Amino acid sequence: MPAISRRAQEALYPSVREMFELAAGVPDTISFAVGEPGFDTPKPMIDVAYQAAIHGDTHYTPNRGTAALREAWCRYRAKQDGTDYDPAGEIIVTTGGMEAVYLAMIATLDAGDDILIPDPGYANYFGQAQMAQANVVPVPLYEQNGFRMRAADVEAAITPRTRALLLNSPSNPTGAVIDPDELAAIADVACRHDLWVISDEVYRAFVYDDHVRCLSIAAMPGMKERTIIIDSFSKTFAMTGWRIGCAFGPKPVIDQMTVMQENVVSCVPGALQCGAVAALEGAADILSTMKAAYRANRDMVAQAVADMPLVSCNVPDGAFYILINVTATGMNDHDFAVRLLNEAHVVVTPASGFGSRGRGYVRLSYVGSAEDTAEGLRRMKAWLERL
């Protein structure tokens, strides 16, 4: 066999997947490891996609997505936060938010350029940046600051080769929402250093407290022309398996992302795009049901952790994740997760897979039923008390 490329051999496989494999061999587990809604896609969206396929929507669509979906998504976005994007040129429908992030990286970075990535941050950012042949420069997030990104830490990480900054608010894995004043200061840093901003907003629908304002940096002065917003149906409408995401941004960069999309996947399946239009137009119910359930789970987890020995956490602002500090147990996050799995049958994710600053934390995803969440927390507390 000829040699496999160095880039492929060095590709990062998120270590967060390891727990799934280990958990498969353990009976009667409660999992806090899944990063997706604990709900199925509502039937009306499935019906629309099915009917579209039955009626012949089984062909390629335009590379940038169907006009119907682009128009509906731009309308939805404008209603949410007043940002105005032209469906003809300033949006591309992609294979999930993940492809949108990757296309945004390769459209803005040349080999050897630096990209600033939150640490701890979503594991796939690190692997994607490596595939894009960019250098990852971590922007540290601090527990004492609720893991909210600060402009001073962004500016301190900038080098002469920095071309892009990745923002993720609300964040996976921390649940933090960037404070509006800090976001304005980050926008100022991005303008002064002429950076692209890739703003991953896939959890934007999940912010739980009225006093927390989650703004898009694209809406700030001077930012629309340098921001690529990443959005997705996966979390907002419980549609992870449909693989529908998008990027909003300036037409020249969206046009180049469209060219690259043609080279790799051509387009997202047409019938699924029809189902996605139905979600935008009529799925407010699932969103409010999910949000109420996650909010109750978040409160339950934060309260339960406060009552557990040896561990602690901040109350997260949004998404559906919480980071728990396990350093006082004397175990590293990986050993903590493996022992918790084997001895208490509870699955959590060691956060060192989310960057070096994730060391000493585990991530809980609180998307399960209230009963499972309560049982998982009960097992975890009893296990910690026995240590």
| Beta carbon nearer to ligand PLP, 240 or 332 | 240
Minimum CB separation from ligand PLP for residue 245, in Å?
Answer: 4
**How far is residue 145's CA from residue 377's CA, in Å, rounded to a whole number?**
25
| Beta carbon nearer to ligand PLP, 12 or 374 | 12
**How far is residue 165's CA from residue 139's CA, in Å, rounded to a whole number?**
9
| Beta carbon nearer to ligand PLP, 97 or 249 | 97
Rounded to 5 degrees, what are φ and ψ at 115? -125, 135
Question: What tokens does 319 get?
Answer: 């998404």
Query: Where do contacts with ligand PLP occur on this chain (CB under 6 A)?
Result: 35, 96-98, 122, 168, 172, 200, 202, 232, 234, 240, 245
Minimum CB separation from ligand PLP for residue 117, in Å?
Answer: 11
Minimum CB separation from ligand PLP for residue 341, in Å?
Answer: 21
Minimum CB separation from ligand PLP for residue 332, in Å?
Answer: 23
| Beta carbon nearer to ligand PLP, 104 or 274 | 104
**How far is residue 297's CA from residue 257's CA, in Å, rounded to a whole number?**
38
| Beta carbon nearer to ligand PLP, 186 or 319 | 319
Minimum CB separation from ligand PLP for residue 41, in Å?
Answer: 13
Minimum CB separation from ligand PLP for residue 105, in Å?
Answer: 12
CB closest to ligand PLP, residue no:
96
Q: Name residues whose C-beta falls within 8 Å of residue 130's C-beta, 6 or more positions apart in sequence.
A: 7, 10, 11, 12, 136
Q: Where are the beta strands (DSSP E) in the chain?
A: 30-31, 91-95, 114-119, 135-140, 162-168, 196-200, 227-232, 244-248, 312-313, 321-325, 346-347, 349-350, 361-365
DSSP letters along 242-262, please? G-EEEEE--HHHHHHHHHHHH
- State which amino acid sits at residue 24: A
| Beta carbon nearer to ligand PLP, 99 or 113 | 99
